[in-house]
Every structure is written in C-alpha cells, then in structure tokens.
Amino acid sequence: MRALGIGLIGTGFMGRAHALAFRNVSAAFELPVQLHLAALADADAERAQHCANAWGFARAHGDWQQLITDPAVDIVAITTPNHLHFPMAMAAIAAGKAVYCEKPLAVSLQQAEHMHLAARVAGVVTRVGYNYQHNPMLVLAKQMIERGDLGRIISFQGEFSEDFMADPAQPWSWRCEPGHAGGALADLGSHLLAMARYLVGDVQAVCADSQTVHPQRPASRDSRELRDILIDDQTHALLRFCNGARGTFSSSWLKHGYKNHLSFEISGTRGTLKFDQERLNELHLCKAGQAGFERLLAGPQLPGYAAFSPAPGHQLGYNELKTLEVHALIQACAGNPAPGPDFEEAWQVERLASAIREAALQHRWVTL
C-alpha cells in the first residue's frame, strides 16, 4: 500500500489537534494509503523535538523550510499564525506537495488569490481548516436544504461569538495585529462566512459595521505598557445572497458566556432549521404547520458518525470533526472524490471577508 508522509508545522493548540487527527484517522477509517508521521517543525527546536517524540513523528526540524524540502514529507500541514501561511504554502506548492492549511487562508485577498492560483497551476491537493463543515449534522443540513425540505430559502441569520477577549485586561497577542489578519472577523467570522456559503451559496452584496470596543490592551500579562488595538472586536453585516435570500452576520469575541457559539438559523418558505456548535450533535427543525421545533440527534445513520460510535446520542466532538477533515484530505490525496474547502473556496471566503471590511470602512453596500 502506498505511504504518505505527514509534515506538521506548529505545535500550539491547532498543531496538537492536527497531530491527534493524523494519529486517529487510521483507527477510525479504512484508508487507501498508509500514513507515516514523517516530520514536525517548530521555530523552537527543543520544543519541536519534544513534541515530535510525544506525538509520534519520526524527526524534528527547527526550520520549517527543512520540513518542506524533507523528501519523506508528502503532505504539509500548516498550523502557524496567519502571516506565515502564505510563504509556507507557496514553498510547499513549489515543491509539489499537498497543503493542509489552517484558516483564514492568508492575511490579504491578494495573498489568498496567489495561493489558490499557484495550487491550481501546480495541480496539488489543498485543504483549509474549516472543519465545522465536516460535522455530519451540517452535511445533513445541506442535504435537507438542497432537496427542498425548507422550500425556497429566504433568510440566513448567523453568529459566531466567544468571550476569550471580553476582559479588557486580556493582553495583546498576534490575533490583535492587522498584518496577521487579526480581529473577530478573521478569527471567528471566517468560519461563519464559510458556513453561509456552504449552506446557502454565493453572496452578491454586503453592508457592514465594525467596532473596536477596547482600543488598548496590556502588551503582556501583568504589564503596565499598553498597545493600541487596530482590529475589530465585533463586526456585523447584512448579506444579499445570489439566490435571493437575505442574511445577517455577526462575529464577536467579547460576548460573555459564549465559548464556541457558531450558530445559524436558515428559514425557507416551508420551514426553519437552526444549529449551535456548542451543541454540535443536534439540529432543530420546524416545518410549516408544526407547533414548534423538533430535535434531530446525530447517530450512526449519518456518514462519518459511525466511524466513531455505533450508537446515537454518544456524541462527536471537536477532535472528531478534525479527524473527519483529515480523512477527506487523505482521500483527495489518494485520488478519490472527497468533500471539503480547498484553496479556491478559501479564497472565495476571503473575497467575502474583504468586501465586509470595505463596506464597514466606506459605510456603503459593496457588490462582490
């Protein structure tokens, strides 16, 4: 059986999530290839070696460029801060390797366009970490919408809120840097925009408003030095979809009480469907004429779920969604049809995010 070598760049929360997914996918699925955890890279060479040993990678590199040129690596997984996505992905594409990059794809629309065009010319497989789309319940939601269970779609109301920046004493981080594609719109909202496109389709025009609620933050924890904040704490937008539906969009990292509130309500002429990522194994459906919503619970009848549990109600979690995302990546690398947003789709998400920023800055509707 053909072997694929995995090269992972980054050892933070997302690096660990990728490592878990690459380790778990062979246990959950019968794969058409064998996976080899070939190499791990981090700017801290000592940490790279420690994590390589702990996570089962064959070797460690203190320089990401060494990982990309490593002949044992076939797939490059990028889990670094956003400003490093472009040089790493472009180098991997130039080396003819598949690229699995976390979101958002890049720090500018121009970078994202270069990345997707380069990948298309090179003919390499690409995937971007919009892993929530691999939730079996959202695959079901898409099927219900496409077969007309809700009738003609007329509205989308979406929100992605968390509270990890709600405290004004929370210190500055790279997520607060405009040049790193920071801000609530990029960090959280890109997931919601990808979800809106996945479920409802292309957006024709947007109108938006952004706000920086806390204009300064401590330079570091317990520091008296303050740094100016030049990114959005919250962004709200109106959406006009190409199919005639109207929508609302909200992203905030300031809302107390919310931890992973990626949610939507989609209404059609025959019913309404709603979802909240904090209860990711449920959909709620109300068809015309019903007194209220019924709960649809995830179970082994849904593709992907049965790989982890043979019984309904036992629940999938974040890391299972990441494993499903990696499974689709491996299938694509093996030449098999597989769902999942690639660099071109991620570029389309960046086009939409860029239009929202322009609309908020110019206080007008912007047509894509």
Summarised one tens digit per residue, pLDDT across range 286-313 is: 999 999 999 999 999 999 999 999 999 9
Which residues neighbour 235 within 8 Å (Cβ) at sequence distance 6 or greater? 183, 184, 185, 189, 208, 209, 210, 211, 249, 250, 251, 252, 356, 360
Residue 1 scores a pLDDT above 80: no
Query: Cα torsion at 25, 20, 336, 341 (round to 10°)?
Result: 140
Tens of pLDDT along 132-185?
999 999 999 999 999 999 999 999 999 999 999 999 999 999 899 888 888 999
Tokens read off for 115: 């990345």
Tens of pLDDT along 197-223?
999 999 999 999 999 999 999 999 989
Task: Return the pLDDT at 219.
Answer: 95
Task: Return the pLDDT at 180.
Answer: 85
Residue type (1 letter), 4 = L
Domains and CATH numbers, the chain: 3-131 (3.40.50.720), 133-367 (3.30.360.10)
Helix (H) or strand (E) holding 271: strand 271-276
Sheet strands side by side (includes 246-252): 294-297, 282-287, 271-276, 261-268, 153-161, 246-252, 234-241, 203-211, 366-367
Per 3-state DSSP, the chain is made up of helix, strand and coil in percentages (nearest 5) of: 40, 25, 35
Contact present, 3 and 35 (Cβ < 8 Å):
yes
Identify the band that residue 274 occupies on the pLDDT scale cut at 50, 70 and 90: very high
Query: Looking at residues 78-100, what average pLDDT do you find?
Result: 97
Mean pLDDT, the chain, as a whole number? Answer: 97
Task: Return the pLDDT at 181.
Answer: 80
Query: Looking at residues 327-338, what average pLDDT do you find?
Result: 96
Tens of pLDDT along 40-54?
999 999 999 999 999
Task: Return the pLDDT at 264.
Answer: 98
